[in-house]
């Protein structure tokens, strides 16, 4: 969901020297005919190609219908209560999405309709009300433990 902390988590993972991509900020998205955004699927698939070492981790943050067709090893759902999402959308400075009443209404609708679907396919669910380094630690702990 918008405002859940995907971009912030990507920045933290990059700070820790992991390869991490943000679908919105890194140019993986494109507008669809219905007014929503989707992913440039070939470009995302290229990023997901295995690295030179088996231990290479790639993190990709975003949400799109196309994600169901891509070979992600783990699917992580970041979530936060609606009131937190609304506060973050109104306060953020790096992305204007969520400032309009219509956009916030769409986020709330997605939270009610899309998030339950994402929960069913998630390998890990992280509530992003803790500080970002704590969220990153939890993510890395889970992913690294399952790679062993």
Whole-angstrom Cα distance, residue 21 to residue 27? 9
Task: With respect to residue 122, please indicate whether it lies within any of the assigned structural domains.
Answer: yes
Q: How confident is the model at residue 98 (pLDDT cuts 50, 70, 90)?
A: confident
Task: With respect to residue 1, please indicate whether it lies within any of the assigned structural domains.
Answer: no
Task: With respect to residue 73, please indicate whether it lies within any of the assigned structural domains.
Answer: yes
Say if residue 13's pLDDT is above 80: yes
How many structural domains does the chain have? 1
Helix crossing, 132-147 with 6-15: angle to 10°?
A: 70
Q: What is the pLDDT of residues 123-140, one digit of tens each?
A: 999 999 999 999 999 999
Task: With respect to residue 15, please indicate whether it lies within any of the assigned structural domains.
Answer: yes
Domain of residue 124, CATH code: 3.40.50.300
Q: What pTM value is reported for the model?
A: 0.87
Task: With respect to residue 125, please indicate whether it lies within any of the assigned structural domains.
Answer: yes
Query: How much of the chain exceeds pLDDT 70, in percent?
Result: 95
Residue 97 belongs to domain spanning: 6-147
Task: With respect to residue 116, please indicate whether it lies within any of the assigned structural domains.
Answer: yes
pLDDT at 1: 83
Surface-to-core class of residue 26, CB atoms within 10 Å of its CB (0-12 exposed, 13-18 middle, 19+ buried): middle
Whole-angstrom Cα distance, residue 118 to residue 124? 11
Task: With respect to residue 111, please indicate whether it lies within any of the assigned structural domains.
Answer: yes
Could you give the 3-state DSSP secondary structure of residue 138? helix
Task: With respect to residue 57, please indicate whether it lies within any of the assigned structural domains.
Answer: yes
């Amino acid at each position: 969901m918008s405002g859940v902390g995907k971009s912030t988590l990507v920045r933290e993972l990059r700070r820790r020297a992991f390869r991490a991509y943000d679908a919105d900020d890194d140019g993986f998205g494109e507008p669809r005919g219905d007014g929503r955004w989707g992913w440039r699927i070939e470009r995302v698939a290229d990023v997901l190609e295995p690295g030179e070492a088996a231990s290479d981790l790639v993190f990709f943050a975003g949400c799109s219908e196309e994600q169901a067709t891509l070979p992600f090893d783990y699917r992580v759902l970041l979530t936060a209560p609606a009131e937190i999402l609304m506060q973050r959308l109104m306060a953020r400075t790096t992305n204007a999405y969520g400032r309009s009443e219509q956009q916030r209404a769409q986020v709330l609708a997605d939270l009610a309709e899309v998030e339950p679907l994402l929960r069913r396919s998630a390998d890990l669910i992280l509530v992003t009300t803790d500080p970002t380094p704590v969220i990153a630690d939890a993510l890395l702990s889970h992913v690294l433990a399952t790679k062993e």
